[in-house]
Structure 1
Amino acid sequence: MSPQSPAAIRRDEKSVAPGIMDGQRYIESLRDGREVWLHGEKVADVTQHPAFRNVVRTFADLYDLQHQAATQDVMTYLDADGVRGSVSYLPPTTPELLLRRRRNTEIWTERSFGMLGRLPDFCAAMIVGFHDTRDELNALHAGFGDNATNYLTWARQNDVALSHGLHDPHMDKTMRPKQDPDRCLRIVAERDNGLVVRGARFVTLGPLSNEVVVAPTYVLADDEPEFALWFSCPVNLPGIKQICRDPFTLRPQTADHPLSTRYDEHDVLMIFDDVLIPWERVFLMRTPKEANALFRSRVMAWAGYASVLQAIARLELIIGTAHLIAETGGIAKRPHVTLEMGELASYAGMFKGLLRAAEVDCVRTPGGHYMLGNTTHMRPLIALTSERIINIFEHVATSAPVFAPTAEDFDVPELRPLLDVYGRGRNVDATYRHRLCRLAWELTADSFGGRQQLYERLHSGSPEVIISGAYERYDKSKGIAMVNALIGG
C-alpha cells in the first residue's frame, strides 16, 4: 500500500494506513527509485547492494520487534480508534507517557548495542517536537503548525523511517550564509505548490530512510531569512542525490566484523538540486529568530532524550567488553584495571542518575507535553568523557586486539591446533577469546570504531561550545548568595 500524504490525512483523519512497520514492508519501502551514489556508481537497489543489504536487514529485524509478543506492548500502543502505532511517535501528554517513550527507546538502542546513533526512533522524536510547537508555528505562518500536526499523524499511521539533515557541508566557516549562499541550504523560490530549495546537508541513514527532516542548527541573523526553514520530504524526490562515504559493510560478514557489517549507518552528502517541497510539508520558513529559539528548546527535547539513552547503551557494551577482555586475559584484579573499570562504571552511573533526575523533574511544555527537566549537563558530560572512555578501554585491552588473527585462520587445519593453544584465554577457548578481541578492535581501533567515536563526541556540535553553554546556563545564584553571606557582599 502506498503511504497517504499528510494533506490526505488532514481531510480524513481516519483514513486506512499501513500502521506499525514490519521488516518486510520496510525493505520494500526502500525500493522507490531513490538516487544513491557509491564509489562513483549509482546504486540500483539499496536492499540488494552488498554495501547496504546487511544494515537493511538489521533495521528490518528492529522493526519486526514491534510485532513480537515480548516487545510489542512496549514499542507500540493503541490509539483512540484502536489503531496500533509506534511509541516513537507518541506525544508524551503525561509524565507516565514520557517514561513509556524511554522504555521504547531502550529497546531500540539496546538491541542495536548503542551503535546506531540516528535510529528512526530518534528522528521520530523530532516530529513530536515540531508538533509540540504547533501554536507558535501557526502564529508565525498560518497553517504551518497544522502541517506539523498533520505530518505527525501521517508519520505515525505509516510508521515512516526518518533520517535528518541538520548540518551543512564543511566549507568556509569564516563566511556567513549571506556571503556564500551555496554554503547553506536555502529557499530559492516560492510557488503555488511549494518551496524550491537548493543546497546540501550531511545526513546519517539517508539511503536507508523513507524521508528526511531538515532544519538549521546554527544561529541565523535577521537578514538571513531564506536559510530559516523546517520541512520534511521523501528521499526519492526529483533533485535529491545522496553521495555516500566509503562504507564499512563491504567486509566479510564473519566473527572478525561483528559490528561494522551490521551497524554502519551510512553517512551521506545529500544534495538538494532545486527540490520542490510541497507546502503541507513545510513547518517554518523565513523566521530566523524563532527558528533559533524553538529548535533547541523544544523541537530537540525528545530527540535529546533518545540520544542520551543511545550513549548509555554504547557505554554498557564498552564496559562489558572491557570487563571480559580483562577477565579472560587474567588482569581483572590488577589495581590499575579495577581503578579504570571503576571510572567507567562511575560514568555509567552518573549518566543514568542525571537522566533519572531529569525524568523526575520533568516539565510541561507550552504545547502540552512533558519533557525532561534540566538536561544542561548530560550531553556536555557525554561529549567531555567520550575520549576518556575509549582511552580507558584501550588501557584495559592493551595490545590483545592488535594481534588477533582472522576468522579464516581458524579454518586452516594446520593452524587451528596452534591457535587453540596460543589464542586461548583464562577459562575460555581460543574461539571465544578471538571473537572478543575482534569486537574490541571494531569498538576502538579500526575505521568503524573511529567513526563511532567521532560521532559520539561531535554529533551535538563542538564539545567546547556545549560545555561552555552548560556553565552559562547553570543557576549560579545559590552559590553567589552563599559567598556573599560569608563575606558580606
Structure 2
Amino acid sequence: MTGATALETGRSTGKRKPLGPGALDGKRFLESLDDGRSVWLNGERIDKVATHPLFRAQALEMARIYDLQHQEGTREAMTFVNPNGVRVSCSYLEPRDAEGLMKRRRNAEIWAAESFGMMGRYPDFCASVAVGFKDCGDELAKLDPMFAQNAAWHHQYAAENDLCLGHGLHDPNMDKTLRPEQDPDRCLRIVKERDDGIVVRGARFVTLGPFSHEMQIAPTFMLNEREADHALWFAVPSNAPRLKMICREAFSNRSRFEHPASSRFDEQDTLVIFDDVFVPWERVFLARRPAEANRLFRSRVMVWAVFAAAVQLLARLELLIGTGYLLARTGGMDDRPHVQQELGELITYKRIFADILRAAEIDHQVTPNGLLAPGNITHQRAFIGMISERIIDIMEHIGTSSLIFNPSEKDFAVPELRPLLDLYGRGRGVDALTRTKLCKLAWDLTGDAFGGRQQLYERLHSGDPKAVLAGVYQRYDKAPAVAMVERLTDTKF
C-alpha cells in the first residue's frame, strides 16, 4: 500500500495536538450543516439543510440536545476533558474502568431520553463505532500500521470536533442471487488506487445522513477473497465531491398536534451514492482484507454500538409503556385483566432489556487495548426482532378505534363543532383535547407511516431476524448443556 504514513502526516499515537474546539453546541451544529453537501429530496437539491422545512425540526431538536452539553446539570454527565485538554462528548469516551463505562451509558441515556427513543441512529451510536475502530488498533496494526494510526486519528478528530457521524453498512437491495464478484455494483468497492488514496464507487443506506458531518463505511456482506476490493473501512465527509444523498419521503413538516413524534424526530433515511468518490489513505482503516473486515467489525466494533442501541431501545419502550398506560387509563380500561396483562407484557419486555444492558456492563470484556467493552448482547438484537411486532399489536389492542377516529386540530377551532367534540371526545378524567392529543401520539407511534418505519427499522436494522437468531445459536457455548445431559443419562455424546 502506498501513501503517507500516519507518522509522516504528524499522526502519532501519543499525546496529540488538539484537532478541534470540542463539544458542540446547538449554534455550531446548525451552522456546520451548511457545507455544500449534496442532499436530494423529492427531486430537489436541498441547499440549506438546517433551515429547510422538511429538515428544520430534526435539526433544531438535535441542536437543543447539543446545547445540553454546555448547561449546568448535564455538562458533567455528557462531556469530559480528554488527555489533550479538550472537553469532548462522552460518546467518544474510551472506558478503562467500570466508572467510565457507566459514564458512557449516562450520556447515552440523556440523548435517548431527550429524543424520546425516536432516533435509532442518534449520534452516540455512530460515535461508538469510531471508538470501536480505534479499539481494533492492535489487529489493524498487524495488517498495516497505517490502518491503526488512521483509526486513532479518526477517533481523535471526530471527538475533538464532536462530529455527528453516520454509518453505511448495507448495500442496496439488488439481485441477491449474484455475488459481488458476479455483479461488482452490488457492493461498494475500490475502482482505482492512487498514491494518495482510493476512489470508491457504489451505494449505501445511511440513516441520519443529512444531519451527519461524516459517514463511516464498513461491509456487512460476507465477502470472499475474490471480492477483496469490496472489503473496506473508511470515513468520508458528508460534503465530499461526487457523494450524493437521496432521501426517502419525509415525515416531517407536519402539525405537532397531528403528529407529535414524527414532526420533531424524522431522522431521515438516505441512499448515499458514491459516484467515484476519492478517499485519502489517512481516512482508510482497512482495505482489501475480507476475512478481517467481516470478523473484526462484528466482534470488536459493533459491540460498542449495540450497547448504545440498547439504551435507545429502553427509552422507546418507556414511551410506548406510558402511551399504552394512558390510553388504557383515559379509556377506562386499565382495570380490565386482559389490558393489565398486555401492559404487564410491555413492562416485562422493558425490564428484560434493562437486565440485558446491565449484564453487558457486569460481564464486560477487557480489550487488548485495555478498554472495558460491554459484554456481547447479540441476544438483545435477536429478542427485539422476535417481539417488535408484538409490541405494536399490544398498542393496537389497547387503543383500538381510538387510534383512528380522531378529529383534527382545526376541528377544535370551529365553534359549531367544539361543544360536540368536548362532549363525545372526552376520556376518563381528561377533556377531549387532551385525549385526542394522546390518541394522535399513539397513532404516530404505531399506525402512521412514521410508526411503520420505526417498527420496521427496529425489527430489521440488524439484518434478517432469523439469521440473527441463528447467530445466537452458533455463538452459544453448548458444552455445559451437553455435559449436563451426559451426567443425567450416564452417556457420552
Would the TM-score normalized by the shorter structure come out above 0.5? Answer: yes
* Alignment match, 1:328: 330
442, 456, 472: which one pairs with 2:444?
Answer: 442
Tell me if the contact between 1:211 and 1:232 (Cα under 8 Å) persists in the aligned partners: yes
1:69 aligns with 2:72: yes
1:152 equivalent to 2:126? Answer: no
Separation in structure 2 between the aligned mates of residue 45 and residue 403 of structure 1, nearest angstrom:
37
In structure 2, what is the Cα distance between the partners aligned to 1:8 and 1:432?
60
Equivalent residue number for residue 454 of structure 2: 452
Q: Which amino acid aligns with 2:278?
A: L
Instruction: Specify the alignment match of 1:221 in structure 2.
Output: 224
1:63-89 deviations in Å (ceiling 9; x for gaps) = 111111111111001123432111001
Change (3 A) 1:266 1:16: closer
User: For the aligned residues, what is the CA RMSD?
Assistant: 1.5
Cα pair 2:19 2:161 within 8 Å, conserved: no
Which of 353, 356, 360 in structure 1 is aligned with 2:355?
A: 353
Which amino acid counterpart does residue 43 of structure 1 have in structure 2? I
CA deviation map 1:6-64 (0-9, x unaligned): 99772792246221001010001000111111111111211121111111101111111
Question: Could you say which residue in structure 2 is the equivalent of 1:256?
Answer: 258
Are the counterparts in 1 of residues 18 and 86 from structure 2 also a CA contact under 8 Å?
no
CA distance in 2, matches of 1:198, 1:319: 44
Structure 1 window deviating more from structure 2 (469-478 vs 148-157): it is: 469-478
Once the two structures are superposed, residues 391-430 of structure 1 have per-residue CA deviations (whole angstroms, 9 ceiling, x without a partner) of: 1111111110100111111111111111111111000111
Amino acid at match of 2:39: V
Contact 1:380 1:463 in 2 (8 A): yes
Instruction: Give the distance between the partners of 1:164 and 1:204, measured in 2 at CA.
Output: 7
In the alignment, is residue 110 of structure 1 matched against residue 125 of structure 2?
no
1:176 paired with 2:179, answer yes
**Deviation at 1:374?**
3.7
1:469 aligns with 2:475: no
Is residue 290 of structure 1 aligned with residue 292 of structure 2?
yes
The 1:152/1:6 distance shift into structure 2, 3 A limit, reads farther
Looking at structure 1, the residues matched to 420 and 136 of structure 2 have their Cα atoms a distance apart, in angstroms, of 64
8 Å CA contact 1:20–1:86 kept in 2: the answer is yes
In percent, how many aligned pairs have the same letter?
56
* In structure 2, distance between residues paired with 1:457 and 1:399: 25
- Residue 16 to residue 197, structure 1, CA distance change in 2 (3 Å): closer
Tell me which residue corresponds to 2:375: 373
Residue of structure 2 in register with 1:82 after alignment? 85
Aligned to 2:188: 185
Provide the C-alpha distance between the structure 2 equivalents of 1:16 and 1:468, rounded to a whole number of angstroms.
43
Aligned to 2:132: 129
- Is residue 376–residue 473 contact of structure 1 (8 Å, CA) maintained in 2? no
Distance in 2 of aligned mates of 1:343 and 1:63? 35
1:10 corresponds to which residue? 11
CA deviation map 1:195-234 (0-9, x unaligned): 1000000111111111010000121111110000000010
TM-score by length of 2: 0.96
Number of positions where the alignment pairs a residue of Structure 1 with one of Structure 2: 484
In 2: Cα distance, 1:462 partner to 1:225 partner: 24
Q: Which runs of 4+ in 1 moved over 6 A?
A: 5-9
- SS of structure 2 residue aligned to 1:172: coil
SS at match of 1:337: helix
Alignment match of 1:408 (pick from 407, 410, 415)? 410
Equivalent residues of 1:38, 1:244 under 8 A apart: yes
Question: What is the aligned counterpart of 1:235 among 218, 235, 238?
Answer: 238
State how 1:275-314 maps to structure 2 within 5 Å. Answer: 275-314=277-316
Give the C-alpha shift of residue 158 in structure 1.
0.5
Tell me whether 206-215 or 364-373 shows the greater mean CA deviation.
Answer: 364-373
TM-score by length of 1: 0.97
Unpaired runs of 5+ residues, structure 2, are: 1-5
1:373 shift after superposition: 2.0
Superposed CA offset, 1:416-452 (max 9, x none): 1111111110001111101100000000001000000
Letter in 2 for 1:285: A
Q: More displaced, 85-94 or 281-290?
A: 85-94
In the TM superposition, what is the alpha-carbon distance from 1:254 to its structure 2 partner?
Answer: 2.8
Conserved in 2, the CA contact under 8 Å of 1:380 and 1:466? yes
- Structure 1, unmatched stretches of 5+, are none
